[in-house]
């Protein structure tokens, strides 16, 4: 699905909401949307990605590249909200800097509170 963008700003902040796919086919449009915010003077960009329906490695790399460029100029890109699908792909790819600060922790990573077994095991050879 072609992405749709909603851009708002109150300098130095810029907000972007992306609805649709974040992948190779949408890369130019996504880059142009972020560039529009930067041209208008936004150096602190907050991204709402709750409407992202598909994301691949290209899309993550594109966002990380934009994030790095802004950081080099004392700015930033902060993902303030994201779809479950986007969060899952970010975690699988270990792109923690592209996760929202309050991303829910998946159940598989929550530590168990059950006591560990203290029994001894031996290996026989």
Mean pLDDT of 65-80: 95
Mean pLDDT of 89-105: 85
pLDDT at 108: 52
Sign, Cα dihedral of 99, 105, 107, 108: positive
**Residue 118 or 34, more confident:** 34
Rounded to 10°, the helix 27-39/57-72 angle is: 20
pTM to 2 decimal places: 0.80
Strands 76-82 and 4-10 come out as: unpaired
Mean pLDDT for all residues in the chain: 87
d(CA 97, CA 123) in angstroms, rounded, equals: 42
Mean pLDDT of 57-77: 95
3-state secondary structure of 47: strand
E-strand ranges in the chain read: 4-10, 13-22, 44-55, 76-82
Provide the 8-state DSSP code for 26. Answer: G
d(CA 22, CA 30) in angstroms, rounded, equals: 8
pLDDT at 18: 98
Residue 44 main-chain phi, psi, to 5 deg: -125, 100
In order of start, what are the domains of the chain with their CATH numbers?
4-105 (3.30.750.24)
């Amino acid at each position: 699905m072609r992405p749709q963008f909603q851009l708002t700003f109150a300098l130095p902040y810029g907000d972007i909401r992306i609805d649709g796919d974040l992948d190779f086919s949408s890369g130019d449009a996504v880059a142009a949307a972020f560039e529009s915010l930067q041209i208008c003077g936004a150096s602190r960009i907050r991204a709402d990605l709750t409407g992202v329906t598909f994301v691949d490695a290209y899309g993550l790399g594109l966002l990380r590249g934009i994030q790095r460029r802004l950081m080099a100029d004392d700015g930033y890109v902060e993902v303030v909200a994201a779809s479950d699908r986007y969060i899952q792909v970010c975690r699988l790819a270990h792109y923690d800097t592209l996760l929202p600060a309050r991303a829910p922790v998946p159940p598989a990573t929550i530590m168990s509170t059950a006591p560990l077994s203290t029994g001894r095991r031996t290996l026989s050879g």
